[in-house]
Structure 1
């Protein structure tokens, strides 16, 4: 199973919602003209780049008095739901976005997409980085579509987008060309192309990013970008390339960089940033940094204000319609199937108690608009049985007489006292969750049936966020800090005593280490800070989401490591928070054992008059 942190490390805001009080609604961004909004911000969902959780960045922005914050993780929006919920709780506006590489063409991108591992100090000259911000819901769909295009064109963990992709898809977004070490010819061509082709400039949605991060040539670089801004008539946008919510996380940032680039602290050199300047700042600080370009600071407020039409809680999930025959409503079709199944289960006379239970459940299903969810699950079960694939629903769904009549579960409502509200309740703001076990050797047939029926643009597996826990954090940090391999192994394999994040001094001495040694102390300090940090995205064991329209209308889709599988960027908590219904198609080895047992019995009985067992 993927490495998941306990709740005490970093609980998802959706799970924490019952314990917290929502903050005030976000007010107009332009209330304070002296304010500033950091729009280019990387959280730890940029994977081994940002050193702060999205929730920490949002809270820090609110503490600085910022009216809004932009989150632009690299090639992903996998942390956006967490940021959205945190911003709603803090009472500030979230400007959703992403930071992407744009290549001259796909061939160049495919050949050089691993350039950081080979030569991180010399970026290729045929790429440029931009920050994309969604200004409205159409812009959010554009962003998700671009990320889907880039990720479907590349291996897992990569994104391959070209300038042409952005010129084709730019409705509802604002684009900021981010600063680089030099202003080369390709960069100028990109800005010229974005300014003259499409409608970005006409909509005043194109900017040139400018930053001062404590470098010796900051003034010269700012003036060169300002000159380009004047020549091309493209406004400046002040930004801080934020990767930290507080300067104390710089050591974590350094370690994450070394893990990503495969080096150790001692030899990292200029691959590490020279200071902790990439952090959130307030309006007064930014005004002091850009006294000659106040319009660049004010530009952040303008973009934030224009993005107020893009609120993720306005996204509406639509369940697919294929499971409903033409000229029928989902509820009418569900009632027909339940009635037919009830007569199959109980005969022509359905017990009064069952009839009452069914009516109670159906009324609640109709009220909460879940009939198509039940029809989809019934369709999967029917397909599996048509292929003689053993399957069985379980979990809270066993409290449903509707599931029993649809053949999803095998719990007879006449033999137990059912509590349907344990499964579905109007008081709980949670979608239903039906777990279906299939024979583990044949589950892939069911998964591919889903892909074939709905298409890969409308069906995908839910993501799983693989995170740093005790052993993985200790192993990675100790390796980066230069400890020997045998000592790293001893630290990592003996981690149970440290799982709460507190090192026992005597236990450290037993391992032959001095707990007062600065390096050892720093290793434990950094490893503890990294507990719960996302490492990468994996795929859920079997959770599917299916939509009526393209999935990229809500969330990007990427290739999985396994062949013939695609995955969305959100995990199960994100999906629940956004009101998307998930179907769990799980595998169970014991069902495969039962299948083989049935087959063996049928083989022995093949010559007998008694016939074989059904499957």
Structure 2
């Protein structure tokens, strides 16, 4: 029985280069009976969490490997890299951070020297240039340089491209690798899970290259063989090269790192000497209760505070609350109006810490603390904090200064292809005229989930059954939901005690002085990382300016905080009942 591990699979997080979601690759690999599947996207680990999560759902014996395809700026051949342990993963993500931080958003500038500085524990598969590609003449020397530095940790990837001189080329590579000390290993250089995705991959190439399918020429793949293959098929394809398929299993077996090893640690907060974080949180909470409940606390309020504090301690979240308290404290010290919202408003601890301004213990308000934090869910609470939109940037830069660029970064947001963008890009790639593409993009198709756009296409004066129209709509439907590029989250920060760039690569954002990680909120949730949302709200700016316009009270004090605003004003409710809401600040659900 044949056995095989695919070590060179790219997902659609190799933006505009590969034509399958990570989950599709994992599901198909398991169905084909592969021992392992390595996800190695171009200078990125953006898709590995989704692949890892899919592997856990699929179950079985498939091992999902997290790596990256390193593409160098100095002519060094592409190198697929897999960390052998947790420390090596940290070196890989620091290497990618180095390349991304010295390049504009979306770029990565790496050299061979950069890799060698971070090479300890990295298992590498060198991918030779395809026949006719640039760099072929210099490849033997560069392979020698790499193999000399990484002997015992380096292999040479061999690919069946179904060309007329395939076997001759593989024989040449086998000889070359043996001389350099980099044994030949079979790889598929996979771009999609199924051959039926080849047309979409052609379209992605055209979008990336800014050309039509008729102009693409040799930039397109020669056939549909960049698909996942079964162990039996790989054994047949490499039958003349003993050991090439078996070495894929050897390499996969040496990859000892799994994403489950990424243990998140909350940042250490300033805690007075001799105190634990939990003791400090208790002291801050009871101190805050003294001024929040000016009329005095009843027994019910005391029991509620004690219950919340005990649960926070039991679940190990005191540092999270101290982190948010520190941010709020700093902002208020600068005169920046801020306000926690959402389920955090159900927490008396948040109220006492000054994170929220509405007392959740009032008799006419249900206390739903379990919406905010629950022992049954066992996940970190989510505290969203709004800041004045004109001054939110000051708070964001405070976090970068407070934690450093290697311990704080914004979460990513994946920008996906949506219907209008998809049909415009596909139409352009297929060479449809601009008026036809515009007419298709102007139809209201919704999400295309379980419905046909045909009636809307007819309304636009086009025939949905015309071959070029059907091809465009079919490919656009496949493209929907594909990642276009990574952007920064509106304000979700990931903060760590140790180096964040040893967990995930950090990139430059398009905005000056902003940096963000490669994983979005879903990836963060999957791995159990902590996210603090630093959000902007224009109405807080309006409120702060309104406070400045309101004359001082008789005692000389002024309104400076939302908690000082009289609540439950009957006249406001009467206005809303009459739909007379002009001039009312904001109505929330």
TM-score (norm 1): 0.87
Q: Distance in 1 between matches of 2:182 and 2:446?
A: 57
Q: CA RMSD in A?
A: 1.8
Pairs within 5 Å for 1:405-416: 405-415=352-362, 416=365
After superposition, the Cα gap between the structure-2 partners of 1:596 and 1:173, relative to the gap in structure 1 and judged at 3 Å, is same
Who is 1:239 aligned against? 187
Check if 1:229 corresponds to 2:199.
no
Residue 94 (1) aligns with residue 64 (2)? yes
Alignment equivalent of 2:139, drawn from 182, 187, 201: 187
CA distance in 2, matches of 1:270, 1:512: 35
Deviating more after overlay: 64-73 vs 284-293: 284-293
Segments of 5+ residues of structure 1 without an aligned counterpart are: 1-31, 105-125
For the 8 Å contact 2:71–2:78, the answer to whether it is kept is yes
For 2:540 and 2:207, the matched residues in 1 are separated by: 41
Deviation at 1:512, TM superposition (A): 2.0
What is the distance in 2 between the residues matched to 1:448 and 1:589? 19
In the TM superposition, 1:298-377 aligns within 5 A as 298-307=246-255, 309-347=256-294, 349-377=296-324
Q: Deviations 1:537-593 (Å, cap 9, x if unpaired)? A: 011100000001111221111101110000000000111111111000000000111
Using the TM superposition, name which of 187-196 and 267-276 deviates more.
187-196
Equivalence for 1:61: 29
Kept after mapping to 1: 8 A contact 2:544/2:560: no
- Residue of structure 2 in register with 1:154 after alignment: 103
1:580 aligns with 2:529: yes
The equivalent of 2:587 in structure 1 is none
Q: How does 1:37-56 map to 2 (within 5 A)?
A: 37-56=5-24
Task: Verify the 8 A CA contact 2:44 2:68 in the aligned structure 1.
Answer: yes
Aligned to 1:614: 560
Does structure 2 conserve the Cα–Cα contact (< 8 Å) formed by 1:324 and 1:372? no
- Give distance in 1, aligned partners of 2:274 and 2:138: 56
8 Å CA contact retained: 2:66, 2:82: yes
Instruction: Give the conservation status (yes or no) of the 8 Å contact 1:76–1:98.
Output: yes
Match for 1:196 among 137, 148, 151? 148
Match of residue 565 from structure 2: none
Tell me the TM-score normalised to structure 2 length.
0.91
2:42 aligned partner: 74
Change (3 A) 1:609 1:311: closer
Q: 1:375 to 1:498 in 2, by over 3 A?
A: closer
| CA distance, structure 1, for counterparts of residue 146 and residue 450 of structure 2 | 49
Query: Could you tell me whether the CA contact under 8 Å between 1:95 and 1:134 is conserved in 2?
Result: no
Please list, as runs of the form range in 1=range in 2, the aligned pairs for 1:488-507 lying within 5 A after superposition. 488-496=437-445, 499-500=448-449, 502-507=451-456
How many corresponding residue pairs?
A: 554
Alignment check: 8 A CA contact 2:148 2:180 kept: no
Q: SS of the residue aligned with 1:40?
A: strand
Query: Take 2:426 and 2:214, find their aligned partners in 1: how far apart are those partners?
Result: 13
- Name the CA distance, whole Å, in 2 between partners of 1:532 and 1:407: 40
Deviation at 1:350, TM superposition (A): 2.4
Q: Is the 8 A contact 2:411 2:519 kept in 1?
A: yes
**Counterpart secondary structure, 2:77:** strand
1:256 is aligned, of 162, 187, 204, to 204
In the alignment, which residue of structure 1 is the partner of 2:123? 174
Q: Is 1:476 paired with 2:407?
A: no
C-alpha distance in structure 1 between counterparts of 2:284 and 2:447, whole Å: 54
SS in structure 2 opposite 1:39? strand
Q: Given the superposition, is the C-alpha separation of residues 185 and 326 from structure 1 closer, same or farther in structure 2, using an over 3 Å criterion?
A: farther
Match of residue 566 from structure 2: none
Report if aligned partners of 2:129, 2:136 keep a CA contact under 8 Å in 1: no
Identify the residue that residue 555 of structure 1 maps to in structure 2. Answer: 504
Q: Is the 8 A contact 2:428 2:434 kept in 1?
A: yes
Check whether the contact 1:460–1:557 (CA below 8 A) recurs between aligned residues. yes
8 Å contact kept, 2:269–2:319: no
| Residue range with higher mean Cα deviation, 401-410 or 422-431 | 422-431
